[in-house]
Amino acid sequence: MNRNADMEGSSLWRNVRLATLREDLGPLGVIEKGAVAVRGGRIVYAGAAGDLPSDLSSADQVIDCEGRWMTPTLIDCHTHLVHGGNRAREFQLRLEGATYEEIARAGGGIVSTVQATNALSVEELVAAALPRLDALLLEGVSTVEVKSGYGLNIDAELKMLRAARQLERLRPVRILTSYLAAHATPPEYKGRNAHYIADVVLPGLSRAHAEGLVDAVDGFCEGIAFSPAEMARVFDGARALGLPVKLHAEQLSNLGGAKLAASYGALSADHLEYLDADGAAAMAKAGTVAVLLPGAFYTLRETQLPPVEALRAAQTRIAIATDCNPGTSPLTSLLLTMNMSATLSRLTLEECLAGVTREAARALGILQETGTLEAGKSADLAVWNIEAPAELIYRIGFNPLSERVFKGERIAR
């Protein structure tokens, strides 16, 4: 087994059943009689207890996990966590028969959250996001991706990203940001997407990048948002700054967004209900992760399931996420997201658990840092009061987390 030594604060986790999510160890990477050694916030050993090197057998803290299961902490790789207001009124309209697109074309939808978001300061946006973040952390999440996209002008988009960065200073969490000014066209640019991209999206991206606010660039490729050609202009801007890209693609129709994303070597293409086999193959070839968002499928009462068989046939990597947003997925439970993915999209246990750990880390470009239990990675550990990993997906609205560890620090609930 591999390990590296770093003698700062140390802990040893014994009598623990490991779901390492290491692909080389089979489904879930299970090690029944496991041990995990931590030094200076990093995993230095994760493997069979019987193979634990003697120089790691003592530590400042030795924790008997009493046979509990341990996984990597969970990763929510697609959220709009920072936003103002809510869309309960639209939820009611949809109950009365209005469609998401009708509401959007009538000036509701994303644009209505833009008004609520732009009315708030950075501090107020942070205060509004913290309860949503805390709900995720309580379920064993340690990494969250947070998008802009409800500002739709340069200053407001930067304000959202500053709020996202602030969350990382207020909670034991890793935050990755995505610049999503290409989420919708503000009313003042209605019908003039090219001008919006030239006047706002690209200059705003340069400023956000210069301020260190951006980890990736995202967009909404859809008939009610931006075309593949328009997204290509945004992605060219990202490429010029050396930033990775991702894309909301094939959510309501097939415009070839996933193929476009793959052509830019995107980290991920997300939603994908209307993806076809060609798109799945292009993503697999490019290493672009398919991020499935069952919360939006469920909330919109979508009938077109994402093509899971085509993704499997193409060997496209699959992650899942909450897509936490006020309009189509007011969801702050990654455990429920796994249950929905299994029940609605028929993902397997392994696909669900890998989808919120290893593959979610891959979708954020941080698999070298977290997402599996193995030496050299951040000690992001989740201990669960379960008899079998299937209990993490099977239950609805129940949280079996026993303890979360982030960068080696034991987090009080």
Query: Which parts of this chain interact with ligand DI6 (CB under 6 A)?
Result: 109-110, 113, 183, 220, 248, 251, 296, 325-328
Residue 87 Cβ, how far from ligand DI6 at the closest point, in Å? Answer: 7
222 binds Fe ion (CB under 5 A): no
Distance in angstroms (rounded) separating the CA atoms of residues 175 and 364: 10
Of residues 213 and 293, the one with the C-beta less far from ligand DI6: 293
Of residues 156 and 354, the one with the C-beta less far from ligand DI6: 156
Q: Report in angstroms the alpha-carbon separations of 114 from 80, 225, 382.
A: 12, 15, 36
Residue 296 Cβ, how far from ligand DI6 at the closest point, in Å? Answer: 4
Of residues 109 and 294, the one with the C-beta less far from ligand DI6: 109
Coil, helix or strand at residue 39: strand
Of residues 10 and 299, the one with the C-beta less far from ligand DI6: 299
Coil, helix or strand at residue 145: strand
Of residues 76 and 323, the one with the C-beta less far from Fe ion: 323
Residue 297 Cβ, how far from ligand DI6 at the closest point, in Å? Answer: 9
Residue 351 Cβ, how far from ligand DI6 at the closest point, in Å? Answer: 22
Query: Are 34 and 18 spatial neighbours (Cβ–Cβ below 8 Å)?
Result: yes
Distance in angstroms (rounded) separating the CA atoms of residues 248 and 231: 11
* Partner that binds at residue 233, options ligand DI6, Fe ion, none, CB closer than 5 to 8 Å by kind: none
Of residues 76 and 403, the one with the C-beta less far from Fe ion: 76
* Partner that binds at residue 327, options Fe ion, ligand DI6, none, CB closer than 5 to 8 Å by kind: ligand DI6
Q: Return the ∠ at Cα 248 (arms to 175 and 22), rounded to 5°.
A: 55
Structure token digits, residue 79:
């959220």
For residue 321, what are the contacts with CB-CB under 8 A and spacing of at least 6?
A: 76, 77, 78, 79, 145, 270, 291, 292, 293, 334, 337, 356, 360, 363
Restricting to residues 168-197, name those near Fe ion by CB under 5 A. none
Coil, helix or strand at residue 70: strand
Q: Which of 90, 323, 351, 380 binds Fe ion (CB under 5 A)?
A: 323
* Partner that binds at residue 296, options Fe ion, ligand DI6, none, CB closer than 5 to 8 Å by kind: ligand DI6
